[in-house]
Structure formats: structure tokens, C-alpha cells
Structure 1
């Protein structure tokens, strides 16, 4: 499949059919995987909420919980609740349903563009994307490809290393992973395409950062995302390289917390992501 075709298919996958006021139906990909990829549900929920908001408002954060594994065999229904409409901020809540049950909740805040104070973290010094390893190729070499390589065909992911391999020891952050990512094909200039495809890609490898300090074989760990949060700081293009600086400040109780800073190549901090998930060692 060509890069352009894969990107068109991803954009089409994330588009939604409107069934009624604030009610939408999402498509499903052709896949051999058993559970719906979390980034897909998060991105489709974001699009559903945005369809109910005036264009002068822009999403600045989303917070979500994964409740049940999604079923690829049936469409997902997205029901949007208009929690609050203010002069500067709007709030929406989306429930994703299958088989009559909620599988995912997402709450989003939108804001009109305003001027204010500005500061940001500095981007770490890292190798360029061209010196990274193709993540899909690594998954195939390790026998860890369960169909994700097909779903991620529109993503170009270059792995720079983690705390067990390729990165220098960091006592302050003992469990880290570094990646470059971009949508592997040209998107339109519609900001929603970039927000949605970034949200889709933001689930890539994030929970793996919680395993980086342990050198654990993912095939011997039961892993599942429990929640997912994104703060959008500044506009950017998802089809141009962005650095995903991931680290895990804590793991315990069979759960791991992972954080990620997202930088464009010029060093601009454009988003911050957080996720907690199940990382249960298998006997």
C-alpha cells in the first residue's frame, strides 16, 4: 500500500457518519486484531465532539477512560453531550458504545484563541529521524506484530531507543522511550485532520515507556490502556516530524503511568500526553 493511499484510508476511517443531532457512527478498519486500537476510538470521539462546536473554538484538552475492549466486527456509536457553552470555553462529553454498552468515555474542553503568557520546556537533544529505527520493522523482527503494522500503515515511526537499549542512563527518569513520528503522507490544511490523526498516533508505544526500565518482553506482559489524556498547546502539522519524548515516572500495582512531551523539529512544544495502563506480568 502506498503512503498516500494509507493516509487517505486513515482520514476516511476517522471520519464519522451523522445519525442524528449529536449522534455519530464510526467506521472500522479491515484488520485481524481482536481489540479496537485505542487511538482510533480517541480520535473518532474527538471528531464527534468537534462536530458539535462552533469553529471559532479550538480543543485544548481531552481526558478519557477505556472501559471495555472494542469489537472490530460492529461500528462504534458516539453520543455527544453538550455539558457547557460559555463565552470563552465549551465542554463536551462523548460516550462510545457497542452492543448497548459504553466502551469509552471522553471529556473535552474547547477555547477561543487568546493571547497570554508564553513559556515551554526545551526539547532534548536527540538524533534526527533519519537515524532512527523503523518501529514496524522492529515489531516484525521480534514477532510482536499482531496486525498493528497494517493499521499503522499511515504512520512513519522512527525509534531512537529506550532506557534498556540505545539511551544513556538517566537517574532522574529511569524509564524512557524516544520516537520520531509523522503521518506518512500529505494531509490537507484542515486543522481537524492534523488533530485527529495526531490523536490516533498518540497511543503509539506510550505504555511501553513504563516497561523500558525493566527490559520486559511485551509478549509476556498483559497490557491495556486504562485512560488517555492530551493537552494541545500549539497548532502543528501531524504530517511533519514530531518528537515523542516519553517517560514513566512510576509503576506499581500492575499499573504504569507514562507521560509524553511532543515537540516539532524546530523545538516547539505542541502537546503533552499522559496515559496509565495495565502492565501485568504473565506467569
Structure 2
């Protein structure tokens, strides 16, 4: 008997909900207990990744915890650890533990399991609305002065048609530039992107659906900040760069349908920018000696934290600005920090992530000699 992707037969897509709501939908597993849930639909395994997209485990764990908390409490922080790579061919069970129910704060832990083994664990804290009193201290990092994309509002006919079949994954992302790109100090660089869920998140989903969608998106591009600030190409060899450059110049020559489809979606200016970067990377390879050559050998997330600052005051289906930077890397690891603002300037969340960032080595590690 082959592997079963979901515990129960997945229902048809609910077209009254956004794509990301369908992706993150959970089904209660009442036979195992009142606080056990499973993924309703198959989960995405990115090409080249060790397992499922980490944002799915983050978001579904949050969604499962929120199902056990009163509506007047909202999550303000969650601290996660990626324990094992998730298998997209096996159902995930999310076990929620009700650690504490207080008058102002509620604590939950969620453990995602496959074949009885934990693949992901998180602790979440929820606060009751208004529990801080009428007088509070307040400050926030201001949103950078950038111009947001001028796209149709979520839910409009044009927006929905753009996000229909063939429109890509459950969220979309656009580059917003790199601050201090030419700096010789990696810690000075800030990577900016615009992000949002595709389509319109339903009223039925409520603010919880927006929080889950945001949690899902926060894992995108995050640990990759380390390689970006070091300007290390994601492609492993000059040969691969040459192949990509040829493909960008002659996309009709491609045999890989997935790459061909992705290239077709690129705007002309984005393709030109990518060509420029590939040509620059090839030039760097040609000029650098063997001692200067760096290639990413392994890059995988270890932990992930999200601090939700304004859980009721944003929409995840509207453009948000994310700014990522890296204050430190060493010992085969790297740390990244991410701040997210709404288009009206509200600081929505601050995230941190540490991951394994190992370069390909010319010599084997001492432990293997």
C-alpha cells in the first residue's frame, strides 16, 4: 500500500475562500482527542528542499492553537523549532497542549508529528484585547519611504481574475530593492520585498486567517538573507550559471516545463535584471581565485520566532513591506531579522530566524579526517 498524503480524503477547493485559506485548512481528528488536527490538503515540497515548506508547519500550528483559544485573545508571539524535515507524502498531526489559561495571557504548545515523531514544535502566547489598560507605552520603527505596487484591491474582479488558475502559489512576492547593497559590511545590508496573499481572504476566516497567512509567508526568503548579504550566488557552479544565462536569452530552448513557466511570468525588466546578475556572477567567477570562491553547501532553518504587534489591524491579502537583515553569521550558522509593515505604515510583526549556513569545503572537516 502506498503512502497516504492526507489522513482523510481532501475535499474540493472552497472557492468562497482564498487559496491560502484552502492550503492551510485543518481537519479535527476527534478519535485522537479534542485538540488534535491534521492537514486537510497536501502540502507543498519546494524543489531542492529537504522537506515541506516550513511556513506551512508554522501557519498550521498557529491555526491549530487558535482553535483552542477564545476569540478575544490574539497571538502576540510564537517560538518555533524545525526538528525534522516534513514529508509531503505523509499526513501531519498537530497536537495542541493547553499549558495555561490566564486572565490576560494564554499559553499553548503545538507539536507537529509524522509517524509518531515530532517534526516541528512551537510555543505560543496569546494576550486578551485591552489587557494592557487605557494607558500604555508606545513606539515602533517607522516604515521605510518606499512606493507600494499599484494593484487592484483584494476582492475586486480584476484582482480575483489575476489570482485565478495558473496564477502561482498562495502568496506573491516582489522585489523592493536592497539598501546599502554596495556596502562591504554584510550587517549593513537590508533586503526588501513586497508580499501578500493571493486573492481576498474571506470574512468567514476572520482575523485568524490573516494571522495564519502572515505566518505562512514569513518563512519565505528568510534564511536566504545570509547568502544575499554575502552576495553568494544560489547557483553552485559557473556551468549552471552559463546554462541559466542561455535559458534567459533563449527561453524557447528550455525543456524543463516548470522553469519555462516561471520565466514566462517574469516581466521584461525582471528578466533583464536577472541577466545582469548572472553575468556579474560569471565575471566574479572568472576573476576570483580558488581561495575566493564560495558556494552554499547547505542552508536550512533551525528555528523561527514571530512577534505579532498588531494582530487585529492588518490584512494579509494587501501589500505588505518586509525588510530582512543579518546581524551575525558564523560557526556554520546565520541569524536573520525581519520586520513587516502594512502599506499604511503600521509595524505588523518582527521575526527572527537562525539556520544552518554551510559553505562547500575544499577540505573535509577535522572531525572526518
1:245-268 Cα shifts (integer Å, max 9, x gaps): 110000111111000111111211
CA gap of 1:259–1:105, structure 2 versus 1, over 3 A, is same
- The range that moved more, 93-102 or 180-189, is 180-189
Determine the C-alpha separation between the residues in 1 that align with 2:115 and 2:167.
23
Counterpart-to-counterpart distance in 2, 1:215 and 1:151: 30
**Which residue of the partner structure matches residue 301 of structure 2?**
225
CA distance in 2, matches of 1:281, 1:152: 31
SS in 1 for 2:188: coil
TM, length-normalised to structure 1? 0.84
Rounded to whole Å, the distance in 1 between the matches of 2:46 and 2:192 is 28
Alignment match, 1:126? 146
Contact 2:109/2:122 (<8 A) preserved: yes
Paired position in structure 2 for 1:271: 349
| TM-score where L is the length of structure 2 | 0.65
Q: Contact (CA 8 Å) 1:176, 1:212: kept in 2 or not? A: no
Q: Which residue pairs with 2:105 in the alignment?
A: 89
Structure 1 or 2, whichever has the larger Rg, is: 2
* SS of structure 2 residue aligned to 1:207: coil
Q: Which residue of 1 aligns with 2:201?
A: 187
For residue 339 of structure 2, the aligned residue among 247, 261, 270 is 261
- Give CA-to-partner distance per residue, 1:160-183, whole Å, 9 cap, x none: 23368xx46485943421101111
Work out whether 1:281 is the aligned partner of 2:295.
no
Distance in 2 separating the partners of 1:227 and 1:45: 14
| 2:92–2:114 CA contact under 8 A, matched in 1 | yes
CA shift digits 1:207-249 (9 cap, x unpaired):
1112222111224421111001101101310011110011000
Q: Tell me, what secondary structure is at the counterpart of 1:215? A: coil
1: CA distance between counterparts of 2:34 and 2:142? 43
What is the distance in 2 between the residues matched to 1:53 and 1:91?
Answer: 9
Q: What is the Cα deviation at residue 122 of structure 1? A: 1.3
1:218 alignment partner, SS class = coil
Alpha-carbon distance in structure 2 between the residues aligned to 1:63 and 1:47? 14
**Deviation (angstroms), 1:154:** 2.1
Larger relative strand fraction: 1
Question: Structure 2: which 5+ runs fail to align?
Answer: 1-13, 152-165, 237-295, 362-369
Specify the alignment match of 1:21 in structure 2.
34
Matched, 1:111 2:127: yes
Question: What residue is the counterpart of 2:177 in the other structure?
Answer: 161
CA distance in 1 between counterparts of 2:102 and 2:61 reads 21
The question of 1:248 aligning with 2:326 is answered yes
Distance 2:87 2:186 in 1: 40
CA distances 1:103-131 after superposition (whole Å, capped 9, x unpaired): 00010000101242221111122343369
